[in-house]
Amino acid sequence: MNELATKKFKASDYKSALKPVWCPGCGDYHVLLSVTQALAKLKLQPENVAVVSGIGCSSRIPAYINSYGFHSIHGRGLTVATGVKVARPELTVIAAGGDGDGFSIGGNHFLHACRRNTDMTYIVMDNEVYGMTKGQPSPTTDPSWDSALSPGGTGLSPFHPLVIALASGANFIARTFSGDVKGTASIIADAIEHPGFSFVQILSPCVTFRPDQKVWKEQVHEAVVPETDDPGRAARRLMTDDGFNTGVLYRGQRKPYRFACGEEKGDIAEIQKQFEV
Amino acid sequence: MTDNDHNRSVSLAMVGSGGAGVMTSGSMMLEAATRAGLYGLMTRTVGPQIRGGEAAALLRLAAKPVHCVDDTFDILVAVDWKGAERFAAEVPLGPDSLIVTDPAAGAVPEILAASGARVIEVPIGALAETVEGGRANMVILGLVSALIGLDEDPIYEIIAKKLGKKGDAAVTASRQAVAAGYEAVAELSSPVTVSPAQAGENRWLISGNQAAGFGALRGGIRFVAAYPITPATEVLEWMSPNLPKVGGTLVQAEDELASINMAIGASFGGRPSLTATSGPGLSLMMEGIGLAVSSETPVVIVNVMRGGPSTGIPTKSEQTDLNIAVYGLHGDAPHIVTAATSVEDCIFTTQWTVHLAEAMQTAAITLSDQFMGQASAVIDPPANISFMAQRLVEPEPVEGFMRYAVTESGVSPMSLPGTAGGQYTADGLEHNPKGLPSTLMEDHRDQMDKRDRKVSEFNYGDHWADVEGEESSELVVLTWGSTTNAVREGLERLNAEGISAKLVAMRLLSPAVPKQFDAALEGAKRILVVEQSHSGQFLKLLRANYDLPGEVRSFRRAGPLIIRPGEIVDTVKNWRVQ
């Protein structure tokens, strides 16, 4: 134990040897770096961390991190992560994925994960596009964005993940920009440490299908108003912000989900007495 | 077995629209009969209404264990006849049957009267009114007990046990109502009476759904993710308060997609995990089950079948989720499909299924059905089975640990989160032995081979089927699931008449076990395949996987009318060789 206590934790210790499938310049490289920096900052043993994802470009992240990981199926990362956390409460559980995975096919799980408030962190790398399937509009895409699947745009008003997270009961809500590696790392570490369900939206540009997102780095700005634990204030702020406001935007006080998992105790012979006539 | 054994049971139907309390009468009757030393089985037939609507408690009592319903009912007692035409087909009567009806309820519906059953009128409602706080369902309890020759004492014991907390007045009212019913028919002759062989010792009263939950717990399940669905909810409701007693927990999920994937996550974390559902939920879970197969994460799915397709007939039984259980996964996805053969066997089969899933690190679906799941049976205390979840875990991974190492058995040691050096990413993507995504032909072939090998070469022992009857019989009846019990009783009756047949009730439906199957069917010249399916799903499964020697016939029909022993007897007797 002493050896561990004095061990130096470096971000590179949390990087696996596997080369990402991402395009050169993808924002997700920065997110990967931020996650490893956050884990190093918190001095977490790699084996005590589980990173769980669904399907999509960003959902490839577990295999790039030196920790336990689960690259599950499209939209279900949060549910697998919930199972891991309930079964093994002592682990640090991070769910990660993209906007299509989390807000479209996995939308129902997003609502209920916020509601359930299990003590874990959910990172969404939001690039407002389905990248792995080569450029279709996602729930966060601008209504007029043209694509082969929805020529002329979807005409649908974009999903507002932070507002929905708040309304559904998430206990920590933040937005960051992938290009700000240090700031993102610090917010991820904060999210991990905060009890309950923490949601971090990371604006992570897609250089291939959304070259227009190059301007994001000029558009993002740090929130000037201090963070709040008042859901009413947070709701007004989130509803009116421009989508580029970064920082911790809500830090709630809800108690995390409690579950009864404990040590093996009791006796099957006691339980079966209820069937005896 | 003596030739008249099957006659030494009594079948009762207690009928009344919802709210009349016939289910309570039925449950109390079953428990009282158990105390008197009888065995019994109670099923229920209800309409789709949430409350109200037609309802009938169907009981069969005997001096030996009862596993299926009889061909006809001996006694039908009705508080009223609302909606009776909707369940009449499920309560077949004959000229020897007795209908007890309240004249205030009007004439016996033609559909029932046509059976030629003797009808007697008892003013059930009026008798209840003679007692302050008296209820018709308690009058029924008394009169049925009298008709079948059951003592009043065990009834009173159950009343004290069940109603004690409602106060003395409630107990007294119920006792008096029971007594009124008892006296009303004391002078009547009854078509059949039963007498217990011996007082029961530690007998259990358990439903198939409780039995599945209990078997799962005994097998080591310590995490359950739950989404309610008829007729599987009771598995989950039983497990919820009982799991914490052994350090486990249940999470109510937002849908079936969540419940299967939560179970997979918890199992990845090291806890043997389960979910329970029925057809529509199983359809939703399919992609998750494939993930368990690919990522080699053990998980158990208890699927309590109901009439399908789509929403189908949620409250009635059918054996038609066999196809989806066996073939529902995309890709080549070797996994386990089992089925219990009786209420009692739900304990063993579920426990065994947990063992299989854990030992082979894969998904295992175990099929029950509405008939078994929601039937309550009196059983002898089940044998303690030693099967426990035994997962091959690597406690101290060394440099170069490979989660999906290609092994002789196909099973690879698994590292659990928290174990240093064992870090890997479980994946639904095809992967190499280290677990890294791979599109290489060699990796796909090797991993596919190993996932298939661990399942197809596993030693399932004798548990793959219940094989019973004369070894040398040229007639073999193949069946599975709850239908087994009607077949078993039908063959016992035939045997008593000197007609021998062998029963092969399959507990393991996938993978195929041709060696054991061929041995069991050695010498067969005629094969009868019995199932509750319109399309013959079981017959097709057998034809796809096995050589069926001799002449093969199918006896099948869709739910909800369950298959009765007499139908098996008739089918065999009427078999004309072509």
Q: Give pLDDT tens digits for A148-207.
A: 999 999 999 999 999 999 999 999 999 999 999 999 999 999 999 999 999 999 999 999
Both B472 and B443 in one domain: the answer is no
Both B145 and B96 in one domain: the answer is yes
Q: Is B315 domain-assigned?
A: yes
Q: How far is the C-alpha of B406 from the C-alpha of A126, rounded, in Å?
A: 38
Task: Give the CATH number, domain containing residue A46.
Answer: 3.40.50.970
**pLDDT for B178-193, tens place per residue?**
999 999 998 877 767 7
Phi, psi of A273 (to 5 degrees): -60, -30
B379 neighbors B361 (Cβ within 8 angstroms): no
Among B379, B407, B442, where does a domain finish?
Answer: B379
Task: Give the CATH number, domain containing residue B515.
Answer: 3.40.50.920
Number of domains in chain A: 1
Number of domains in chain B: 4
Q: Is B267 domain-assigned?
A: yes
Both B89 and B148 in one domain: the answer is yes
Looking at residue B44, what is its pLDDT?
A: 87
Q: Is B374 domain-assigned?
A: yes
Looking at residue B219, what is its pLDDT?
A: 94
A51 neighbors A77 (Cβ within 8 angstroms): no
| Closest listed residue to residue B512, CA positions, set B471, B547, B558 | B547
User: Which amino acid is present at A135?
Assistant: G
Whether A271 sits inside 8 A of B245 (CB atoms) is yes
On the question of pLDDT at B444 being above 80, the answer is yes
Q: Is A5 domain-assigned?
A: no
What mean pLDDT comes out for the span B209-226? 97
- Give B247's contacts in chain A (Cβ within 8 Å): 261-266
Both B163 and B43 in one domain: the answer is yes
Predicted confidence band of residue B399 (pLDDT cuts 50, 70, 90): very high
What mean pLDDT comes out for the span B401-413? 98
> Which residue in B203, B247, B419 is closest to A265 by CB distance?
B247
What is the reported pTM?
A: 0.96
Residue of chain A with shortest Cα separation from B289: A73
Whether B269 sits inside 8 A of A91 (CB atoms) is yes
Q: Is B196 domain-assigned?
A: no
What mean pLDDT comes out for the span A71-99? 98
Q: Is B522 domain-assigned?
A: yes
Q: How far is the C-alpha of A111 from the C-alpha of A234, rounded, in Å?
A: 17
Looking at residue B6, what is its pLDDT?
A: 46
Q: How far is the C-alpha of B343 from the C-alpha of A191, rounded, in Å?
A: 49
Both B450 and B476 in one domain: the answer is no
Most B CBs within 10 Å, among A112, A275, A276, to test the B interface: A275
Q: Is B50 domain-assigned?
A: yes
Both B276 and B413 in one domain: the answer is no
A1 neighbors A45 (Cβ within 8 angstroms): no
Task: Give the CATH number, domain containing residue B89.
Answer: 3.40.920.10
- Give A83's contacts in chain B (Cβ within 8 Å): 223, 225, 251, 261-269, 273
Looking at residue B197, what is its pLDDT?
A: 63
Phi, psi of B255 (to 5 degrees): -170, 180
Most B CBs within 10 Å, among A4, A15, A47, A257, to test the B interface: A47
> Which residue in B35, B246, B261 is closest to A72 by CB distance?
B261
DSSP string, B517-574: HHHHTTT--EEEEEES-SS-HHHHHHHHHS---SEEEEEE--SSS---HHHHHHHHHT
On the question of pLDDT at B143 being above 70, the answer is yes
Domain that holds residue B536: 463-573
Q: Where are the alpha helices (DSSP H) in B364-420?
A: 370-373
Cβ contacts from A onto B, under 8 A: 190
Q: Is B329 domain-assigned?
A: yes
Whether A111 sits inside 8 A of B254 (CB atoms) is yes
Both B454 and B469 in one domain: the answer is no
Whether A87 sits inside 8 A of B244 (CB atoms) is no
> Cβ contacts of residue B473 below 8 Å, gap of 6+?
B500, B501, B502, B523, B524
Encoded tokens for A122: 């959910």
Among B433, B458, B483, where does a domain finish?
Answer: B458
> Cβ contacts of residue B502 below 8 Å, gap of 6+?
B467, B468, B469, B470, B471, B473, B475, B476, B477, B520, B524
On the question of pLDDT at B277 being above 80, the answer is yes
User: Which amino acid is present at A275?
Assistant: F
Both B453 and B560 in one domain: the answer is no
| Closest listed residue to residue B422, CA positions, set B454, B391, B451, B393 | B393
| Closest listed residue to residue B513, CA positions, set B576, B570, B460, B551 | B460
Q: How far is the C-alpha of B95 from the C-alpha of B74, rounded, in Å?
A: 10
Among B346, B379, B412, where does a domain finish?
Answer: B379
Distance from CA of B294 to the nearest CA of A (A): 10
Domain that holds residue A129: 16-275
According to DSSP, the β-strands at B475-480 and B502-506 are: parallel
On the question of pLDDT at A1 being above 60, the answer is no
Q: Is A143 domain-assigned?
A: yes
**pLDDT for B363-383, tens place per residue?**
999 999 999 999 999 999 998
Distance from CA of B448 to the nearest CA of A (A): 18
Both B160 and B247 in one domain: the answer is no
Residue of chain B with shortest Cα separation from A85: B266
Both B479 and B528 in one domain: the answer is yes
Encoded tokens for A233: 């204030």
Distance from CA of B425 to the nearest CA of A (A): 4
Both B319 and B354 in one domain: the answer is yes
Q: Is A265 domain-assigned?
A: yes
> Which residue in A70, A79, A277 is closest to B426 by CB distance?
A70
SS (H, E, C) B87-119: CHHHCCCCCCCEEEECHHHCCCCHHHHCCCCEE
- Give B214's contacts in chain A (Cβ within 8 Å): 271-272, 275
ipTM for the complex shown: 0.97
Both B424 and B509 in one domain: the answer is no
Looking at residue B47, what is its pLDDT?
A: 73
B242 neighbors B420 (Cβ within 8 angstroms): no
What mean pLDDT comes out for the span B119-142? 94
Predicted confidence band of residue B198 (pLDDT cuts 50, 70, 90): low
Q: Is A10 domain-assigned?
A: no
Distance from CA of B562 to the nearest CA of A (A): 26
Q: How far is the C-alpha of A175 from the C-alpha of A200, rounded, in Å?
A: 6
- Give B219's contacts in chain A (Cβ within 8 Å): none
Task: Give the CATH number, domain containing residue B319.
Answer: 3.40.50.970
Distance from CA of A103 to the nearest CA of B (A): 15
Q: Is B388 domain-assigned?
A: no
What mean pLDDT comes out for the span B333-351? 98
On the question of pLDDT at B240 being above 80, the answer is yes
Which of B116-120, B195-199, B207-211 bottoms out in mean pLDDT, i.e. has the lowest?
B195-199
